[in-house]
Structure 1
């Protein structure tokens, strides 16, 4: 069982997609970053940097519980644990690692800053221009790569694609379309066609609604458990 302590942010959804793709048993324990759950002592024990996501694998290395933070590291851990979505060929694996780290080092931080300044500091034109322009440049890098290969690690769907997709869901807000970025748009459509990605999007919406109710003081349960939805879990054996 994987316990995912998280929110349905892009970084949180990376892990949700991976868990849905692999079919591993998991549950989501809500960490509402809008109300400060990430600063609570119980979360800091899992993630000393007060960030999400964090996982607890109840059957970790040596059969003992294992805790991990940082979304990129968690994806690598789950890929190695399940033997899925990480190429076995050395060259292809290094291709995957390059694009995974590209997301972690560039796409996430720059898109995140663009989202922040566009919504929270709209009068700071310098910052908006800086991060919006850099985001567009990164979309161009992705489009160029996807013009060479169907997936970021070329001919295999991997955790590099899983990591990148959630950060690109707001591409239309930045004017990304088929005319200027046809390769990216083809890849994005392929991602959205995957059943595990569709399940993630549905689960993320459920979690957001639940967190909203909890923030308003309405009674709710802050756990989403795959055991509670056997039919959905059974579908996790679909497209790989």
Structure 2
């Protein structure tokens, strides 16, 4: 049994979607970041960086923070969504790192400067909107001749998809990125993705382009 400490954000949804896809039993423990619960002393013991998501594996006693590390851990535990073949495995990890180091942080800045910071400068908005479009372009080119980011469906797809699901907030027209659009819709149609998206409760329907 996995204890998942999270909240329905793009980073949080990565893990609930992965758990659903892998078929691992888990219990959800909400950490309401709107109320600052991520700074509580008990959560700090699990996640020293005070960020969701985090997990506790009751079987091993392991605790883990950082969504990318959690995805690798769960993939290795379940034997799913991370190939054991060297080239495919490294390609999956490569694109997972691209997401956690680039796509997620940059799209997060778009959310902040476009939606949460009314006093943000035009420079800040333009900087991050331009970078968002560049990253969508990177992903679109990657998906030009393949169904999934790392050939087989993997944790690289699961890491990126929840951030792309905020395309409307990011001011992105998915029709400008047809390969991303096709990939995004194909994942949105997966029952496990739909279940993981709605953890812990339904908030809104998965956005559709």
TM category (shorter chain) comes to over 0.9
Tell me the distance in 2 between the aligned counterparts of 1:202 and 1:189.
17
Which of 111, 136, 140 is equivalent to 1:139?
Answer: 136
The residue number in structure 2 matching 1:8 is 8
Root-mean-square deviation (Å): 1.3
The residue number in structure 1 matching 2:197 is 201
The residue number in structure 2 matching 1:42 is 42
The residue number in structure 1 matching 2:114 is 118
Whether contact under 8 Å (1:38, 1:50) holds in the other structure is yes
TM-superposed CA distance for 1:119, in Å, is 1.2
Q: Secondary structure at the match of 2:144?
A: helix
From the superposition, tell whether residues 204 and 166 of structure 1 become closer, same or farther in structure 2 (CA, over 3 Å). Answer: farther
**What is the correspondence of 1:79-90 to structure 2 with a 5 Å cutoff?**
79-90=75-86
Tell me the distance in 1 between the aligned counterparts of 2:118 and 2:200.
27
The residue number in structure 1 matching 2:207 is none
Q: Does 1:163 align with 2:159?
A: yes
Tell me the distance in 1 between the aligned counterparts of 2:99 and 2:21.
19
The residue number in structure 1 matching 2:177 is 181
Tell me the distance in 2 between the aligned counterparts of 1:162 and 1:143.
16
The residue number in structure 2 matching 1:236 is none
TM-superposed CA distance for 1:11, in Å, is 0.7
Deviations 1:152-173 (A, max 9, x none): 002x000000000001112134
User: What TM-score, normalized by structure 1, do the two folds share?
Assistant: 0.81
**Paired positions, count:** 202
The residue number in structure 1 matching 2:19 is 19
Whether contact under 8 Å (2:149, 2:157) holds in the other structure is yes
Tell me the distance in 2 between the aligned counterparts of 1:177 and 1:29.
33
Rg larger in structure:
1
Whether contact under 8 Å (1:108, 1:167) holds in the other structure is yes
Whether contact under 8 Å (1:146, 1:183) holds in the other structure is yes
Q: Secondary structure at the match of 1:24?
A: coil
TM-superposed CA distance for 1:150, in Å, is 1.1
Structure 2, unaligned stretches of length 5 or more? 205-209
User: What TM-score, normalized by structure 2, do the two folds share?
Assistant: 0.93
Which of 92, 97, 121 is equivalent to 1:96?
Answer: 92
